[in-house]
Amino acid sequence: ENPQPVYKRILLKLSGEALMGDDAFGINRSVLQSMVEEVRSVVELGVEVGIVVGGGNIFRGVALGATGMDRATGDYMGMLATVMNAMALGDCFRNNGVEARVQSALHIEQVAEPYIRGKALRHLRLGRVVIFAAGTGNPFMTTDTTAALRGAEIGAEVVLKATKVDGIYTADPKKDPTATMFDEITFDKALHSNLQVMDATAFALCRAQHLPIKVFNINKKGALRRICLGEKEGTLVHS
Ligand code: UDP
């Protein structure tokens, strides 16, 4: 018989850096391909997938701030960077036989649909992957905050934050060999222990909405599927 997923709808947060692989900049083709395969494996389980993609592999707002230009200008440039990543992802999904749509919070209609919640929900119900581009459309925010926001809007049961590490540790495992990983932790404990899960805005939004966050290693093959099947993987932050 077919394995049953524990989630009906998820919001996956992919950082720009996750798309970079070991490159110094931009989008790594084989990394992109493997991300798409990971996502396809859960679409095949019947899980509805929304994706928020970052832009740090191309541009970060704060980088421009350092040159004396407006932070807000830099942030808009950062949002445009996420659009490029979203377009690349969208094409890669379609090339692999997975239906996908890109919706942008900034209006650039020649390249992406505008973000319309109702349309996004319809795409999801039809089994299409929806990639949310251009962050929230507002400066001074991050794509982690976008993931919390869109996750809450689409009624995702969990925000899955893809990282290069296996989960949340008691201390930085690179610096402290005695560090251990949490299987789960409450929002309150993560906050009081000063554990960096997401930025403060994103964290507060998830906490207020009782939207759990799972931090996991996207470079571990099959991890996303194991999570969707309820198997032990990553760290869950919950109410
Ligand atoms: N950004 C923004 N508003 C948003 C989301 C993103 O201004 O709602 C800008 C911000 O400058 C940020 C950049 O886009 O540095 C890229 O996003 P982020 O740094 O979150 O990407 P990631 O770290 O996930 O690659």
Structure ipTM: 0.96
**Could you tell me the residue ranges of all domains in the chain?**
9-238
The architecture (CATH level 2) of 9-238 comes to 3-Layer(aba) Sandwich (3.40)
Instruction: Please provide the average confidence, as pLDDT, over all residues in the chain.
Output: 95
Q: From the CA of 18, give the closest atom in ligand 1.
A: 25
Enumerate residues 6+ apart whose C-beta is below 8 A from 133. Answer: 53, 82, 83, 85, 86, 87, 102, 103, 104, 105, 112
Strands 48-53 and 9-14: parallel
Is 13 annotated as belonging to a binding site? yes
Substitution site in 75, 161, 218 for ligand 1 pocket (most atoms within 8 Å of beta carbon): 75
68 pLDDT band (50/70/90 cuts)? confident
Instruction: Give dist(CA 12, CA 49) in Å, integer.
Output: 7
Percent of the chain with pLDDT strictly greater than 90: 90
Ordered strands of the 48-53 beta sheet:
113-114, 100-104, 129-133, 48-53, 9-14, 158-163, 213-217, 235-238, 184-186
Q: Which residues line ligand 1 (CB under 6 A)?
A: 15-17, 54-56, 60-61, 74-75, 78-79, 81-82, 135-136, 138-139, 141-143, 146
pLDDT for position 63:
79
Per-residue pLDDT at 64 exceeds 90? no
Atom of ligand 1 nearest to the CA of 57: 25
Is residue 226 helix, strand or coil?
A: helix
